[in-house]
Amino acid sequence: MNVLVTGGAGFIGQHLCRALYARGDSVRVLDNFDHAYDPALKQAPPFAEVVRGDVCDPAVVRDCLQDIDAVCHLAARAGVRESIEDPEPYGRVNVGGTLTLLRGMADRGVRRMVFASSSSVYGNAGGPSSESDPADRPASPYAASKRAAELFCFASGLDVTAARLFTVYGPGQRPGMAIARFVQLARAGKHIPVYGDGTSQRDYTYVSDIVSGLLLGLDRAQGFRIVNLGGGKPVVLTEMLAAVADATGRQLRVSWLPVQPGDVPLTHADIGLARTWLGWRPTVPFREGMMRYVASL
């Protein structure tokens, strides 16, 4: 199969491209190597055809879709807190870029896509969150953009699996994400600023598990369907800090700060549908994933 991966040079995209290639698919990447974080950390996979371009540009998207059988749509501005400070690119790229891609697919007769949506669409709902729960109270522009993009996917009439990813971590993860920052500061022996009182919980999901779920979601896409991909076992922030200390072998110097706007106290995936529909389950326990991540640095 010829697969277009938008955002294929980013954290999850690099892992996904490798998995597609390993199973025999031809991979084309569309990525603009944006400056949301250091572009030197992004990698164009050597086995892929790489187009440096913008998913918001209809002509670029149309060219990229030539001879393509299926699309993995990961290109986006990520990051909850950043979206509160500067929401504009989230609307332009996450919503507008998705719409441009869907229109290009319809024009080219490409029907199948897996879309990287986000657990953030559940807002402050608590958990465990299932796909049928309301998702109309986003706590940030990022969450709103992902929900809006899902709705455009639905309205397209194409075969789209919208995979709601729960905090993804692992080798190559974005430097702004909590685990990456904490590990880097711990290794440097510096103070770690931590927001909240330590009781918040995140349903961390190791990147290889996300990749296997995205591939299944792509292969099974028929009509529009939403599916959660999450570890299914939320980790309390203090446990995460302990895992950082263990994996780095450092004693942490933590400075506690007030909760940040947009932060939700809990994410917890109900992964029943992923199990029954896709036959998917997460395989990498959090502590092991942390050891693998730190070993990769």
Ligand X SMILES: NC(=O)c1ccc[n+]([C@@H]2O[C@H](COP(=O)([O-])OP(=O)(O)OC[C@H]3O[C@@H](n4cnc5c(N)ncnc54)[C@H](O)[C@@H]3O)[C@@H](O)[C@H]2O)c1
> Taking Cα atoms as reference points, which of 194, 174, 179, 201 lies closest to residue 248?
179
Distance of closest approach, residue 247 Cβ to ligand X, in angstroms = 18
Footprint of ligand X on residues 83-122 (CB under 6 A)? 93, 97, 116, 118
54 sits near ligand X (criterion: CB under 6 A) = yes
- Per DSSP (E only), the strands in the chain are 2-6, 26-31, 49-52, 70-73, 112-118, 159-165, 168-169, 191-195, 201-202, 205-206, 224-229, 235-236, 253-257
For residues 56 and 97, is the Cβ–Cβ distance under 8 A? yes
Number of Cα atoms under 13 Å in the Cβ half of residue 178: 24
Residue span binding ligand X (CB under 6 A) among the ranges 5-13, 43-51, 182-190, 267-275: 5-13
Question: Which residue lies nearer to ligand X by CB, 88 or 191?
Answer: 88
Number of Cα atoms under 13 Å in the Cβ half of residue 278: 29
Question: Which residue lies nearer to ligand X by CB, 112 or 164?
Answer: 164
204 assigned to active site? no
Residue of 165, 194, 243, 294 interacting with ligand X (CB under 6 A):
165
# chain residues binding ligand X, by CB under 6 A = 30
End-to-end CA distance of the chain: 33
Question: Which residue lies nearer to ligand X by CB, 54 or 159?
Answer: 54
Residue span binding ligand X (CB under 6 A) among the ranges 10-18, 19-27, 236-244, 254-262: 10-18
Question: Which residue lies nearer to ligand X by CB, 7 or 141?
Answer: 7
d(CA 129, CA 226) in angstroms, rounded, equals 12
Residue of 19, 21, 33, 250 interacting with ligand X (CB under 6 A):
33
Distance of closest approach, residue 13 Cβ to ligand X, in angstroms = 6
User: What does the block give as tokens for 297?
Assistant: 């640095």
Q: In DSSP terms, which residues pair with 51 in a beta bridge?
A: 30
Site residues, ligand X (CB under 6 A)? 6-7, 9-13, 30-34, 36, 42, 54-56, 74-78, 93, 97, 116, 118, 165, 167-168, 174
